[in-house]
């Protein structure tokens, strides 16, 4: 007999949470309130589509890229591997990733989530770990369809060229950012992280979870 275990890898969303400098801060307020004259509570929510765990669409970094509501959903659902590359700041290189993967079985699943933080930051961190484009190209050559990170972006906060993002585009890969992997052991899982069907937008929040089976 087996039992199913879920790892919630989405950080909480709340007013005052850290966001990319200059991006839209999350704000929440009541639109309707349950009282003697109203039978329901309905909230008003303002936020960036890059809030919390989110999927970047090609439109985010390509003028003619697809918006998130039109991307193929297959990449966000299926076999996945979590690997730990702690303290790799400022740049996670291909040799460092390959070293971390060396103890894992072949072949590499089509989705890879990379943990860089020892502890997910509670404040904006401008010095987060970024991804070497050579690493992205290698993953694409291995058949990886999605890369996910626990940092704010694949590229640095001051990047004007977004080389890692464009390397992703060359291989038709999908991107998840701002995942919460603090309590997720390395290993293989099933990823479920579907973006919302936001037809014209450059990104979408996701409720990302990892599912695994355990012997009873």
Strands of 47-158 (E only): list them: 54-56, 77-84, 91-92, 111-115, 130-131, 146-149
Please check if 165 is assigned to a binding site. yes
Q: Percent of the chain beyond pLDDT 90? A: 95
Please check if 54 is assigned to a binding site. yes
Examine residue 140 and state whether it is found in any structural domain, yes or no: yes
Q: What is the pLDDT of residue 89?
A: 84
Examine residue 150 and state whether it is found in any structural domain, yes or no: yes
Can you give the CATH number for the domain in which 59 is found?
3.50.30.50
Examine residue 33 and state whether it is found in any structural domain, yes or no: no
Strands of the chain (E only): list them: 2-8, 27-32, 42-46, 54-56, 77-84, 91-92, 111-115, 130-131, 146-149, 174-177, 187-192, 203-205, 209-215
How many domains are contained in the chain?
Answer: 1
Closest of 45, 19, 2 to residue 157, by C-alpha:
19
Average pLDDT over residues 83-111: 96
Q: Write out pLDDT tens, residues 164-178.
A: 999 999 999 999 999
Please check if 56 is assigned to a binding site. yes
Examine residue 26 and state whether it is found in any structural domain, yes or no: no
Q: Write out pLDDT tens, residues 14-58.
A: 999 999 999 999 999 999 999 999 999 999 999 999 999 999 999
Q: Residue 1: is its pLDDT beyond 90?
A: no
Examine residue 92 and state whether it is found in any structural domain, yes or no: yes
Q: Kindly state the tokens that stand for 128.
A: 């987060």
Please compute, for residue 33, the number of CA atoms within 13 A of its CA located in the half-sphere on the CB side: 3
CB 132 within 8 A of CB 91: yes
Examine residue 166 and state whether it is found in any structural domain, yes or no: yes
Q: Which residues contact 174 (CB under 8 A, 6 or more apart)?
A: 55, 71, 75, 76, 145, 146, 147, 168
Examine residue 28 and state whether it is found in any structural domain, yes or no: no
Q: What is the pLDDT of residue 216?
A: 66
Annotated catalytic residues are 60
Examine residue 17 and state whether it is found in any structural domain, yes or no: no
Please check if 50 is assigned to a binding site. yes
Instruction: Identify the domain containing residue 141 by its residue range.
Output: 6-12+49-212
> 129, exposed or middle or buried, with CB in 10 Å at 0-12, 13-18, 19+?
buried
């Amino acid at each position: 007999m087996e039992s199913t275990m879920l790892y919630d890898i989405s950080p909480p969303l709340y007013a005052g949470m850290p966001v990319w400098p200059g991006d839209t801060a999350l704000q929440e307020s009541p639109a309707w309130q349950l009282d003697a004259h109203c039978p329901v509570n309905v909230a008003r929510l303002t936020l960036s589509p890059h809030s919390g765990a989110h999927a970047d669409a090609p439109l985010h970094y390509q003028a003619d890229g697809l918006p998130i509501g039109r991307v193929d959903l297959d990449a966000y659902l299926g076999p996945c591997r979590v690997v730990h590359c702690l303290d790799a700041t400022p740049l996670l290189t291909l040799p460092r990733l390959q070293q971390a993967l060396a103890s894992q079985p072949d072949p590499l699943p089509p989705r890879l989530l990379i943990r860089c933080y020892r502890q997910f930051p509670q404040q904006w961190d401008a010095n987060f770990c970024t991804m070497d484009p050579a690493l992205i190209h290698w993953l694409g050559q291995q058949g990886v369809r999605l890369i996910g990170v626990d940092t704010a972006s694949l590229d640095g906060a001051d990047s004007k060229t977004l080389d890692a993002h464009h390397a992703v585009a060359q291989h038709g890969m999908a991107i998840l950012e701002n995942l919460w992997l603090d309590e997720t052991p390395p290993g293989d899982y099933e990823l479920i992280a579907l973006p919302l069907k936001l037809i014209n937008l450059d990104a979408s929040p996701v409720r990302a979870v990892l599912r695994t089976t355990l012997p009873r």
